[in-house]
Amino acid sequence: MTDITPDKQTPRAESPLREAWGMFLRNHAAVAALVVLVLICFTAVLGPWLYPTDPFEMVWAPFSPPGDNGFLLGTDYLGRDLLAMIINGARVSLLIGLAAALVSIFIGVTVGALAGFYRGWVEEVLMRITEFFQVLPTLLFSMVLVALFGASLPMITFAIGVVSWTAVARITRAEFLRIRELEFVMASRASGVPNAKLMFGVILPNALPPIIVQSALMVGSAILFEAGLSFLGLTDPNVVSWGQIIGSNRQYILDASYTVTLPGLAIFITVLAISLVGDGLNDALNPKLRQR
């Protein structure tokens, strides 16, 4: 056994966050996924400057295979540079994924927190509403929203967010129900802490771990959702997204399969990376796995 000298010094103040980060670093798959994800984000942000080809411009003969005339990923049916499209598409896909996740977190956490904290009729009403949204056919509902109000980026984001907040609401409510009975919440009440602060200053920080994990996974599913919508043509024609590339090239899948598979691969890698990071977060934030 390695001999460890006991330190009688006061230990460093080790915040729960720092400790969770330590746990995260031990999950190699998650760390690798995080690196990939950071690279994808860099590409999304800086890519258009580093590779300034216009994704809408016809630059070469249609259906040029990857590598042809220096176009690394080839061109699509209109002769547009696929690499430029995927780089620019990353922006839109990630942006919609993040924004839609934020929308659903905002709705879900608010609804779940109020229901779990106040219980009684507030809980009844809010959870019935949640159930109503849960049983809606999500794809159909968001298609209706986009079809009615126009296929702009904010509208698509909102449509995705508004159909996917129910899971967050249920998780938040469950966590609130559990945590509000813990003694430290009782102690804060005995200390006269007002309700709003109890909800968002005392209970919510302790309810965050599963919400964070769920949110990470939701970014992934929002990207998939957006891809689905744009595949069906419900997309802003002025921007390019991964799903839209697949959708517009879908007729040529047999002749030029790379025009569909390459953006598909981009979606796959991104969503997989997000899932792995979410998994790592779950392990890192789950107090059962952490030793006391």
Partner 1 sequence: MTDTPLLSVENLSVRFEIKRGGWGKKSYLYAVDDVSFQVPKGQTLGIVGESGSGKTTAALAVARLVPAHQGVARLGEDDILSKEGEDLRRMRRRVQFIFQDPYSSLNPRKRVADIVREPLDSLSDKSEAEKKKIVDDLFEAVGLRPEQQRLFPHQFSGGQRQRIGIARALATQPELIICDEAVSALDVAVQAQILNLLRRLQAQFGLTYLFISHDLGVVQHMCDSIAVMYMGKIVEQADRLSLFNNPQHPYTRALLSAVPRVDHPGQPSRNRVLIPGDPPDPNNLPPGCRFASRCPIAKPDCSQREPLPQSIGTTHSAACHYVGTDALDAIGMAD
Partner 2 sequence: MALLEVENLRIELSTRDGTAPVIDDLSFHLDAGETLSFVGESGCGKSMTALALMGLLPERIGRIASGAIRFDGEDLTKASPARLREIRGNDISMIFQEPMTSLNPVFTIGEQIAEVLRAHQGLSRQAAWDHAVELIDAVRIPNPKGRAGDYPFQMSGGQRQRAMIAMALACKPKILIADEPTTALDVTVQAQIFDLLRDLRAQTGTSIILITHDMGAVAEMAERMIVMYAGRKAELGPVAQIINHARHPYTQGLISCVPHLHDVLTEDRPELFEVPGIVPSLRDFGRDECLFASRCAHVTDQCRSARPPEKSFEGGQIADCWHAEAM
Residues that bind partner 1 (CB under 8 A): 10-11, 13-16, 182-184, 186-194, 202, 205-206, 292
- In 10 A of CB 192, how many CB atoms? 6
Pick 238 or 291: Cβ nearer partner 2: 291
Q: Tell me: does residue 14 bind partner 2 (CB under 8 A).
A: no
Report d(CA 27, CA 33) in Å as an integer: 10
User: 13 or 50: whose CB is closer to partner 1?
Assistant: 13
List 81's β-bridge partners, or say none: 75
C-beta separation of 136 from 163 below 8 A: yes
If you write DSSP's letter for every residue of 21-82 in order, what string do you get? HHHHHT-HHHHHHHHHHHHHHHHHHHHHHHS---TTSB-S-TTPPTTGGG-TT-B-TT-BBH
In this complex, which beta carbon is closest to partner 1, that of residue 41 or of residue 198?
A: 198
- Rounded CA-CA distance 17/202 in Å is 16
Of 2-10, 58-66, 119-127, 184-192, the segment contacting partner 2 by CB under 8 A is 2-10
28 binds partner 2, rule: CB under 8 A? no
Looking at the Cβ atoms of 6 and 70, the one nearer to partner 2 is 6
**What's the rounded Cα separation, in Å, for the pair 105 and 98?**
10
Partner whose binding site includes residue 11, from partner 1, partner 2, none (CB under 5 to 8 Å by kind): partner 1
Nearer to partner 1, 5 or 10 (CB): 10
Partner touching 120 among partner 1, partner 2, none, CB below 5 to 8 Å by kind: none
Q: Which does 52 bind (CB under 5 to 8 A by kind): partner 1, partner 2, none?
A: none
Q: Is 290 exposed, middle or buried, given 0-12, 13-18 or 19+ CB atoms closer than 10 A? A: middle
Q: Is 190 in the site for partner 2 (CB under 8 A)?
A: no
Is 238 one of the binding residues for partner 2 (CB under 8 A)? no
**Shortest distance (Å) from residue 205 CB to partner 1:** 5
Query: Residues interacting with partner 2, by CB under 8 A?
Result: 1-2, 4, 6, 291
